[in-house]
Structure 1
Amino acid sequence: MAKEHLIPVIEFCRSHEVEFSFINTLHDFGLIEMVTYQQTSFIDSEELPRLEQILLFNKELEINLEGVEVIIRLLEKVHKIQNEMNMLKNRLDMYERF
């Protein structure tokens, strides 16, 4: 992670009105990456969309963290499968041209 892309967790917590312990729990569940530098915890800016999606599931839809974890893992699998299908489709298109 490049330092210029790091956001202090405490700033994220203030702006999104969540407790630091919630973010720490997400890290413990393996849902987000966090780094600690000079006793300050940071998240990479690339984690923001995922983190905001998790907050939506948890706060707005009132899904517990275990449920959020399952949803996120399933969405990751779907995304991976979609990428594989696109790759295979592109390969097939290439062979069909000949």
Structure 2
Amino acid sequence: MKTDNRILLQTISSYYQVELSFFNHLHDLGLLEIEIMEQSPYIHENQMHNLERMIRLHNELNVNPEGIDVVFNLLQKIDHLQKELIATNNRLRLFEN
């Protein structure tokens, strides 16, 4: 199987000095998609940005995986509300002109 655009979790684990169980916990919470290829766990490279944020929350602020889930859900809601506000402001400008 090809592993293009996928990163071995063991590599990430050693680089960031985080246990593999942390990634499994994030996967169980639905925050991380893990693909098993050739009997090894991989993640797609497009998940790295969010994963790095999760690792920083965990290491620097001592946030557990459940807390990370809460933080990311709140960030998604904020992002959705900001997009909604921009769309509403754009519609309002149409009526003002």
TM-score, length of structure 2 as denominator length: 0.84
Residue equivalent to 2:52: 52
Give how far 1:60 is off. Answer: 0.7
User: 1:36 & 1:88 partners in 2: Cα distance?
Assistant: 43
Q: Which amino acid aligns with 1:27?
A: H
Structure 1 position 7 matched with structure 2 position 7: yes
Runs of 4+ in 1 over 3 A off after TM superposition: 94-97
User: 1:72 & 1:40 partners in 2: Cα distance?
Assistant: 27
Question: Structure 1 residues 4, 84: CA separation in 2 closer, same or farther (over 3 Å shift)?
Answer: farther
Give how far 1:49 is off. Answer: 1.4
Q: CA RMSD in A?
A: 1.6
Question: Structure 1 residues 4, 95: CA separation in 2 closer, same or farther (over 3 Å shift)?
Answer: farther
Give how far 1:75 is off. Answer: 0.8
Identity of aligned residues (%): 33
Give how far 1:6 is off. Answer: 1.1
Structure 2: state its 5+ residue gaps: none
Structure 1 position 19 matched with structure 2 position 19: yes
Residues 3-59 of structure 1, C-alpha deviations (whole Å, 9 max, x = no match): 532111111111111111111111011111111122121111111111111111111
User: 1:43 & 1:88 partners in 2: Cα distance?
Assistant: 37
Residue equivalent to 2:62: 62
Give how far 1:95 is off. Answer: 4.2
